[in-house]
Structure 1
């Protein structure tokens, strides 16, 4: 099959697990003999003179990656803002780039991943070309930026064409210009009014994620739930091979640093430990704060100092994903403190495959992993409850090993990339053969639940 993957970010320039899993799937499909191409944004590329980003085409893992799309602010954006005209021009440029890629590559199917921060006009282009399109959903970008019938994306273009932006005294002129501009765009085959088409299939990474989409009014003719997978060959460590220092519990926090990811809960929990337990714990923080989260990071570091934990807590900064397997192997316990509406946390699944014990808040789809592995769960933001768990695990090494064993067995049964790819490849092939038989998809694999 010829598969075009569209994602806002793509390694090695990425922020989180959504993009990592996208790349793992792309490379696995490529290894299975499929012709895979990736269309992504210019995120992380140098800025040229005049503020324009450099575009690039490169090979990543043997796959052609076209970094052509503009990258806008992540998260919901107000439809009325001074730079609307510039964004419209950039979105139209992105749409033309997509049309060129479709014409040149002629994919059998398009697989959309995280489209947060890039032009939703791309979805209208795909709908107009009648190419089978399948979405892999791990967060709420479609709720925030698109809406049940694409009305949030359409609102932007309606404002542009109707002149509902800029100084009020000029809006009639803007409307006249907008009407002529819209006609020219329409003649080039770029749809800007209709965003209501439905993808052939939407696959959610957890039942929780499917539920919040349904609650927000986004219901699709065909949807499935398929857990994201972890490459066993990269992360699996037999428990007998994990190094263990009997008098030291090595704790790991891994991921981006922001208030909704809850690192402060772990720090406060360390402060509640009695002094003898504190001497038996070391903590590695693997991750960085970006942009608006810098102040939160400084507050956490300051709190570590105030609690006298500087010898216990080591801030390792950003750790490359290729180095995470080593990090998991050298730690006993991953503490997942998130309060976010998680899709299916990559770090939890990776740590479990690598033989780490995991304790979690169970936030969002994290609860589904916790249920699979019968993991200890503590309430979101409850540092005292987490401290009690840590006190237990400092002294009860048998319990620590039991948690690690249960988690690893469950992860190897349900959360491997190999199992995920087998099912995903079958799904894509079915859609290519018969895009209309959406209701019959995904019935062969016990890992997937379909509506």
Structure 2
């Protein structure tokens, strides 16, 4: 098949797990003999180049700035950027031109902010089946995370947000043939807001490149706790720091890996505690080494997290996960089998869980076996086969 994936970002431009997943899926599809095209925003000097068998078009959007620079922009500029990004005819023209030239059998849209909702239109008008993977809540929230300005779950959107979301619903209506998401929670949330009610949906968990069957030997003399991900307030790292600092034990360590606007505040919170260490964004073998050395990974999100790749990665290194009982996280973590769940934002509950596991290496060893059994369900091979099956249905 000739498959075109549309993603607002593509490595090395990374703001979250979605673009990393898109790269891995693109390259795996290419390895299986498919002709794969990716349309994304600029990350290099060439407008078109082939990397690891994937032909990549870099389309420069006509807007105030590119999506990769969005987190660092002023709160006064962002609303105007979002309005322009609702429907960008310049991007639509470029994408239509590429699709006409490449003539793919299927178009698969991932995160679209920065390429605008106009990126959905060309496939429909050219009669090409369109798949959309929802990695977040961009279609029902300008912030994409369903949090208000106070960092809490938004239960009463402003009038401006309601109007913006209604426009988005109108622009995406009748454009999508198949809705995919790694979690049932996200699918249900979008449909409860009136989106994709008559569109077929399919939960397809993310895929991890898991090959090793060797038993990873852990050290329990120093319990190593790990956080990996964006350092934004919605990720709840400040709750993890509070819980950790309340634990009076010198034989524990907390490694925080990632970047984000909240990092400076988090570093201030951790002052005078030499058990805590911050790392910049890591990937590849460096990141795998962090997971392998860890005894526990913590995912303390306070937003409706979809299906964090961090959990899959941690499981692949036989490292149990403590995660918030929110969004799609409970679909991956089974209490007492491969980790534990706690109420999002509940510092006391998180602290108690950490203390119990720090004092109980035998429980950690049991959880490690659970992670190994769990990750067998989420291999990249199974993910690709599920995708191919859905593509073939649409193409036929």
> Structure 2 length normalisation: TM-score?
0.85
1:300 corresponds to: 266
Deviation digits for residues 221-247 of structure 1 (CA, Å, limit 9, x no counterpart): 2111111111113xx463x333x3332
2:158 corresponds to: none
SS at the partner of 1:142? coil
Is 1:227 aligned with 2:202? no
Decide whether aligned partners of structure 1 residues 389 and 153 sit closer, same or farther in structure 2, where only a CA change above 3 A counts: closer
Decide whether aligned partners of structure 1 residues 107 and 370 sit closer, same or farther in structure 2, where only a CA change above 3 A counts: same
- Give, in whole Å, the separation in 2 of the partners of 1:326 and 1:80: 37
1:252 corresponds to: 226
SS at the partner of 1:343? coil
- Give, in whole Å, the separation in 2 of the partners of 1:250 and 1:80: 39
User: 1:342: Cα distance to partner?
Assistant: 1.0
SS at the partner of 2:333? helix
> Structure 1 length normalisation: TM-score?
0.75
Decide whether aligned partners of structure 1 residues 83 and 257 sit closer, same or farther in structure 2, where only a CA change above 3 A counts: closer
Is 1:57 aligned with 2:24? no
User: 1:74: Cα distance to partner?
Assistant: 5.7
Deviation digits for residues 89-109 of structure 1 (CA, Å, limit 9, x no counterpart): 992221121121111101011
Structure having the larger proportion of residues in helix: 1
Higher Cα Rg, which structure:
1
The 5-angstrom pairing of residues 47-446 of structure 1 reads 56-70=47-61, 71-72=66-67, 87=84, 91-144=88-141, 151-153=166-168, 195-218=172-195, 219-233=197-211, 236=212, 238=214, 240-242=215-217, 244-274=218-248, 277=249, 279-289=250-260, 293=261, 296-305=262-271, 308-309=272-273, 311-371=274-334, 373-412=337-376, 414-433=377-396
Give the length in aligned residue pairs. Answer: 368
User: 1:270: Cα distance to partner?
Assistant: 1.5
- Give, in whole Å, the separation in 1 of the partners of 2:237 and 2:329: 16
SS at the partner of 1:341? coil
User: 1:363: Cα distance to partner?
Assistant: 2.2
Deviation digits for residues 355-395 of structure 1 (CA, Å, limit 9, x no counterpart): 00111113210110013855211111122222211211222
1:269–1:387: 8 Å Cα contact kept in structure 2? yes
Deviation digits for residues 389-422 of structure 1 (CA, Å, limit 9, x no counterpart): 121122210101111211221121x211111111
4+ runs of 1 displaced by more than 3 Å?
Answer: 71-75, 77-85, 87-90, 144-151, 371-374
Decide whether aligned partners of structure 1 residues 300 and 90 sit closer, same or farther in structure 2, where only a CA change above 3 A counts: same
- Give, in whole Å, the separation in 1 of the partners of 2:361 and 2:169: 57
- Give, in whole Å, the separation in 2 of the partners of 1:84 and 1:410: 39
2:302–2:345: 8 Å Cα contact kept in structure 1? yes
Is 1:21 aligned with 2:11? no
User: 1:347: Cα distance to partner?
Assistant: 0.3
Deviation digits for residues 413-450 of structure 1 (CA, Å, limit 9, x no counterpart): x21111111111111112111xxxxxxxxxxxxxxxxx
SS at the partner of 2:332? helix
2:154 corresponds to: none
2:86–2:168: 8 Å Cα contact kept in structure 1? no
User: 1:350: Cα distance to partner?
Assistant: 0.9
